[in-house]
Amino acid sequence: MGGTPLPDGIKLMDEQGRRIDGRLPGELRPLKIEAGVLRRADGSAYLEMGHNKVMAAVYGPRECHPRHMQDPTRALVQCHYNMASFSVDDRKRPGPDRRSQEISKIISEALTHVVFTEYFPRTSIDVYIEVLQANAGTRCAGLTAASVALADAGIPMRDLVASCAAGKVANTMVLDLGKEEDNFGQADIPLGYIPRTEEVVLLQMDGDLTADEFRTGLGMAADACKKIYDVQRDALRRRYVVADDGGSEGVK
Amino acid sequence: MPSGHASRVFIGITNLKRVNGMQRESSRETAREIVVPGDLLSGSGMKAGPGTYVDGGSVYAALLGIRSVRANTVGVVPLAGQYVPMRGDTVIGKIVDMGASNWLVDINAAHPTPLHVNEVPWRVEFGETGRFMTIGDLVLLKVIGVDELAKVQVSMKEHGLRKLAGGMVADVAPAKVPRIIGKNGSMIQVLKNLTGCRIYVGQNGRIWIDGDMDNILLAVEAIKLIEDQAHSSGLTEKVKDLLEKRTGKGE
C-alpha cells in the first residue's frame, strides 16, 4: 500500500472529487443484508456491499472441539473466515492461509466482546464466514454479516457489531475503499464499532496517516457504522415482520 | 405430557413465569414489537426480565425476540435459540452411550447428560445397565438440577417418566415449544383429541408421538404447520381445521 505505483490511465479521484466508481469521499457502497438464509445453520446472514458478497453461518452453542480448548467458565467464539477460490480475479488457492487466520482471529475477538459467553460454559459458538465474491473490505463485510447471523441464531449479545473501513486515497480521506482504492491508495483503516456505546472492537491500519487524518478517518468510519447498524437491525426485523399479524400464544 | 407442563413458557436464558391474567391484556399491545440485541427496552423504572441486560440503569435487549411487559418487568421472548436445560424441564432423551453405572443421554443440549442408575425406577446391578436400556432407546426424563458449569442432572424416578417404546420423534425448534403446547395446553389438546395419538412434548424440542401410522404422520404435519407459522395468530383454529378436514371429524 502506498508504494504501489498507479497503472497508467487510472485516476483514483477526478477533478470533481468523484472516486473511481463515482462515489463521493464520504459515500458507502450499496449495502444489502438478509438474515436467515441457510436452513441447516442455527443462524445465518447474507450480505452484499458493492461487489462484495459474503455468507455467514452460526452453529451452537455446541460441544467444543477440540476438547482441550473448552473453557469451564464461558463459551468460545470460534470464527472461520474463508475466501472461495472463485472470489477473486486470479484463482485463490483454497484453504487457510496467514491472512485468513488473522482475519478469523480478529473477528472472533470482536464478536467475543459482544456475546454473553458466560451463559454457555464449556461450549463453542462456531461462526463461518464464506467470501463468495471479494472487492476489498471483506473483513468488515464478514464481521457485519457474522453479527447479524449470531443474533439470528438466538445467541444473547450486548449489541450488534457494525463494521466499515475508512482510508486515504489521492490525498483525500474516503470511506469504504473499493478494490482499486485498496490496492493503489495510501491507507486503509478497518473499524468494528458498537454505535450505542461507541466501543471499538476491531481496529487495524494499513499504510501511513498523520494523527489528524487518522482521527478524521475514524470519525468517518464510526458514522458510517451507525448507518450499517440500522441496515443490520432492519434485516433481523424483516425476517419476522411478514407474519407479524397477531399474537403468539407463547408470548401473550 | 402432564398438564402441569403445558402452561410452561420456554425462554432462552431463564424461565419467564406467567404472572397473572390481568397483565396479559396490557401486554398484548406491546407484545408484537420485535427487538434486536442492543435495543433499549426501558429507560428506568422497569425491572430487567429474561433475555435482557442492564447497562447504566437502563434495560436493553440481549436477544432477537419479542418485547414483553409483565407487571413492572420487561423481557424478551426469543424467536430462535438452542435448548438450554433448566431445572424442572421434562425432556425426551436418546441414549448414546452406556457405562457400568450410568447411561449417557443426548437431551438436545450442548453436552450429553449422564443418567445414573440411582435415578431410574429399577434396581440395576453394577455393569448391568445394558439389560435395561441400550443405545438408541428413547427416554422421558426430568431435569432435576443444572449447576454453574451447565452440568445437568436428570432423573426418571418421577411419576410418568419412563422409557419410551415404539412411536416416533419429531424435532422442532426449542423456541417454538410453547406454541406447540399452546395457551394452557390448548394446542396440544387439539392435536391429541383429533389425531388420537399419544403425544409427549419435551421442553428440548423433541416430540414423541405414538398411534396409527396415518395419524402419526398427520400429527407431524400439524406440528410442522405450527412450527412454520409460530408467529401468526389464530393458529389453534388453523390446526383444528386441518385436522378436522383430514380425519373427517367435526362436521
Averaged over successive runs of 10 residues, the pLDDT of chain B (251 residues) comes to 34 34 39 88 90 94 94 93 95 97 96 96 95 96 94 95 94 93 91 94 96 93 90 85 81 48
List the grid coordinates of A133: 465474491
A162 lies in some domain:
yes
Cβ–Cβ below 8 Å for B230 and A248: yes
| Cβ pair A161, A225 in contact under 8 A | no
* Runs of H (alpha helix) within chain A: 98-112, 138-152, 179-184, 211-241
Structure ipTM: 0.89
Contacts of A121 in chain B (CB under 8 A): 148-150
List the grid coordinates of A113: 466482546
Q: What is the pLDDT along chain A (252 residues), one digit of tens a residue?
A: 555 677 777 789 999 999 999 999 999 999 999 999 999 999 999 999 999 999 999 998 999 989 999 999 999 999 999 999 999 999 999 999 999 999 999 999 999 999 999 999 999 999 999 999 999 999 999 999 999 999 999 999 999 999 999 999 999 999 999 999 999 999 999 999 999 999 999 999 999 999 999 999 999 999 999 999 999 999 999 988 755 444 433 332
CA atoms within 13 A on the CB side of A2: 11
Contacts of B34 in chain A (CB under 8 A): 236-237, 240-241, 244
> Structurally, how many domains does chain A consist of?
1
- CATH number assigned to the domain covering B90-164: 2.40.50.140
R_g of chain A computed on alpha carbons: 19
Does B9 contact A at CB distance below 8 Å? yes
| Cβ pair A164, A145 in contact under 8 A | no
| Cβ pair B176, B79 in contact under 8 A | no
| Cβ pair A70, A78 in contact under 8 A | no
- Rounded to two decimals, the pTM is 0.88
Q: What are the domain boundaries of chain B?
A: 3-78, 90-164, 168-247
Provide the CATH topology of domain B168-247.
Ribosomal Protein S8; Chain: A, domain 1 (3.30.1370)
- On average, the pLDDT of chain B sits at 86
Contacts of A114 in chain B (CB under 8 A): 37
Point out the residue among A158, A245, A252 whose CB comes nearest to the CB of B28: A252
Looking at residue A62, its amino acid is R
Point out the residue among A121, A152, A156 whose CB comes nearest to the CB of B12: A156
Distance between CA atoms of B187 and A56, rounded to whole angstroms? Answer: 35
- CATH number assigned to the domain covering B3-78: 2.40.50.100
pLDDT tens sequence across B193-225: 999 999 999 999 999 999 999 999 999 999 999
- Domain limits for position A72: 31-235
**CB proximity list for A105: less than 8 A, separation 6 or greater:** A79
Q: Find cell 427487538 and name the residue.
A: B35
Residue A246 confidence (pLDDT)? 43
Residue A1 confidence (pLDDT)? 55
Query: What CATH number should be reported for the domain holding residue A181?
Result: 3.30.230.70
Min Cα–Cα distance to chain A from B56, Å = 11
Q: Distance of alpha carbon A181 from its chain centroid, rounded?
A: 18
A22 lies in some domain:
no
For B234, other C-beta atoms within 10 Å of its C-beta total: 13
A25 lies in some domain:
no
Check for a shared fold between B90-164 and B168-247.
Answer: no
Looking at residue B190, its amino acid is V
Q: Choosing among A67, A113, A155, A248, which should be mutated to test the B contact, i.e. which has the most B CBs within 10 A? A: A248
Closest to A242 in 3D by CA, of B53, B181, B86, B32: B32
Residue B181 confidence (pLDDT)? 93
Q: Find cell 436493553 and name the residue.
A: B60
Q: Find cell 402452561 and name the residue.
A: B7
Distance between CA atoms of A201 and A142, rounded to whole angstroms? Answer: 14
List the grid coordinates of B247: 380425519
Residue B40 confidence (pLDDT)? 95
A167 lies in some domain:
yes
B152: DSSP letter: E
Distance between CA atoms of B202 and B2, rounded to whole angstroms? Answer: 11
